[in-house]
A and B are shown apart, each in its own frame.
Chain A
């Protein structure tokens, strides 16, 4: 097992290199001039100024030179400076990552817990009124775009009821660290967490239901019931672990979003997270920041895939890893 994990970790290095080259290539090939915003804003920008700036920012270097410069800096764990903000990239990325983690981890924990519970309920009470209602709500919610849901929630809870703030993360009028500020911060989180949690519920609840239904039909559960075990023990202790195996894949696949954030939700709620940072850095041609964000997401994808494989072994004793 240990050797298997070690080998997989080694395989990650070339994989990430290929991924980084591909993403850098895609950003490089993106249409548009990296300085187009400056050109638009400053009509007095002369051709010689334009050339000088391209040279200063290294945009006139060929692709492989730009890529190598970036990679070399990343290897040294110093991806350089953001062109937009003139700050070290990590100084820009870490606060955004921290904000996104707070947002998405809360949404994932709340969303997936509710989804698993609802999935179990729907499976155990298959074809009941509750199951039909849940299925109906899930399908409706599935077809609702996150930005629309976010706006509707803002209108309901901020504009009409005035209970929650519309956007942002802090109320600057409050003393940082005070209880009031903490409560206010949590209030700022409620709406974006709710929107993200709803999308988590929609995704996982259906999988959990079908997975649980499949397991509930297994012979060993009939045996357990025949032995006189209560339905709660049958479902909770014997069925749940096996039903969770396919759900783990779904959860692992969605986990990179925990780090990557949600561009749409973060933009609608003006939440300063990774999704919004990725969007603004791409739009502002701040490639160093965009690449760092994308690489963090790529590393998370690879890591969680590995974690999912390891979890299979733990959840399903039939799976054994050979080194």
Chain B
């Protein structure tokens, strides 16, 4: 027998090559057969892939806080239903209430006490008990001056926290705060003392803030626990069996960061992704999906009017100090036609800085002045304000100044650029000239440009009622002294309005709150500090079979479409 030949059972001779091939094929077949049970076991587990646009940086307090990421892996005492905006207890048994004596208010001393009771048997992802002491520890981190917590307004409102037992949290407030009964996890939440206490008391806060705990090794109390985290690209989550509201129905979740909207669109069309979260798809992409994907029954495109797009006129430009000019400019825009053009029939025109799902919305809309498309009325208002068409049909005032100003939007923000072109055209028809000067986001937020512009600017913002104070209170007008950081960019300065905002931030009944919201909207409609354009639609794409996804109806605060992830299911 030749050296490189072997004999098979049947006696046939095999060359070395045939022998190696046969061995290889046998090994591969055996491996595939062995894997089958493994695949079967995996198939029984429910898994989904989510695409998000934003990177998962920190799951803790610091850096850019992503409510969507955080609410996947952690939970607060209280959550918020982003559809009804109702506050719901999560780790707390119930919300503190004045009736039950768990919310004590001393209006004289301007102080309060709220008592939260934790649900029994709460656990961290590592199985250790979750106690009231962990909440107190979380507050200590939040208020530590060396910890890079961005917004410390709420932690600083808390004077002290008492923990008479493992389940009771007694919060002493040093001021009146309307949200004290539903403390948001973005403001104060618990962190596992047993894992962080030593590093925290060690004193090196820079090292503490850079612990792998905050992302890679995160231990929370949410519906899912982090099992893998790749910086900026991917997060693997596994269902947390001891989640107090019930074990999640989906066992495993892969969260991938994919910034390019076209790649996300392709991934949905290719059936690779179960859920595309906000900002992953462009509005045009959503329309393509509706045509090619939704109609074929492959999934659902959910569009919700979440944030506000408004046109802000410069507070420093004397042209706009006359309210008649502002009203005329708004009357000159056919917002229905504009929105129809940009958002293909989505009814998203807005008149008020108020979400449609707020209880006060309908009454507020009925009470407030709204501005329909009426170019003749616009011309009349301009004439009343002293602006008359000149020889070149551009409006001119008694000083000979032409109604001409700079018009700015964020470069490459497609819907804003489209709106800008349409509005410039409407204004041109009534004698207003604009000079387009768009800038990238980074430049718009540079020290030289932040929160100020010489003419008009279109921007989209979160404007929850809880954030009205920041957006509209006179104390928040950007100035050189405050480095133009505050957000009342219109410079709306009215003590009556400030009194409403102060009362809204204070302790009031829901009925009074509604009344004040209506009152505020009336003032907004009359003063018109911004020209409301439309709600910015938020797009989610949900593959067929995935259920329980609720698109948020209002952006800002802790509203997040992943708030109820434990209820999601895949059929």
Contact = CB atoms under 8 A, between A and B. Distances in A.
Interface of A: 30-33, 36-47, 49-53, 56-57, 81-88, 91-92, 95, 151, 154-155, 158-159, 162, 165-170, 172-173, 175, 178-180, 267-270, 272, 276-277, 280, 283-284
Given A46-B485, A167-B263, A172-B236, A86 B63 contact: yes
Given A81-B210, A166-B263, A268-B262, 20 more contacts: A32-B442, A33-B445, A38-B150, A39-B450, A40-B445, A44-B467, A50-B483, A53-B150, A82-B231, A86-B62, A159-B270, A162-B271, A167-B258, A167-B267, A170-B234, A172-B49, A173-B42, A173-B47, A272-B233, A284-B55
B430 to A, nearest CB: 33
Given A39-B445, A44-B151, A165-B272, A33 B263 contact: no
A42 B272 CA distance: 33
B447 to A, nearest CB: 6
A277 B461 CA distance: 28
B335 interface: no
Contacts of B230: 95, 272
Interface of B: 31, 35, 38, 42, 47, 49, 55, 57-58, 62-65, 145-146, 148, 150-153, 206, 209-212, 214-216, 228, 230-234, 236, 252, 254, 256-260, 262-263, 266-267, 269-272, 441-443, 445-448, 450, 461-462, 467, 470-471, 482-483, 485-487, 556
Contacts of B150: 38, 42, 45, 49, 53
Nearest to B462: A43
Contacts of A31: 442-443, 446, 448
Contacts of B487: 43
A83 B267 contact: no
B445 A154 contact: no
A33 B442 CA distance: 7
**Nearest 7 interchain pairs by C-beta:** A32-B442, A36-B445, A272-B233, A47-B482, A270-B258, A43-B470, A86-B210
B62 A43 contact: no
A53 B210 CA distance: 15
A155 B267 CA distance: 9
Nearest to A270: B258
B443 A277 contact: no
B554 to A, nearest CB: 14
Contact of B485 (A39, A57, A178, A283): A39
Most buried by B among A50, A155, A270: A270
A172 B260 contact: no
Given A42-B65, A154-B263, A85 B57 contact: yes
A44 B315 CA distance: 21
A87 B266 contact: no
8 contacts: A40-B445, A43-B487, A44-B151, A47-B486, A50-B483, A51-B483, A86-B214, A88-B210
B139 to A, nearest CB: 17
Nearest to B464: A43
B447 A33 contact: yes
A86 B199 CA distance: 15
A56 B63 CA distance: 12
B237 to A, nearest CB: 10
Contacts of A277: 232
A45 B47 contact: no
A180 B34 CA distance: 13
A172 B274 CA distance: 14
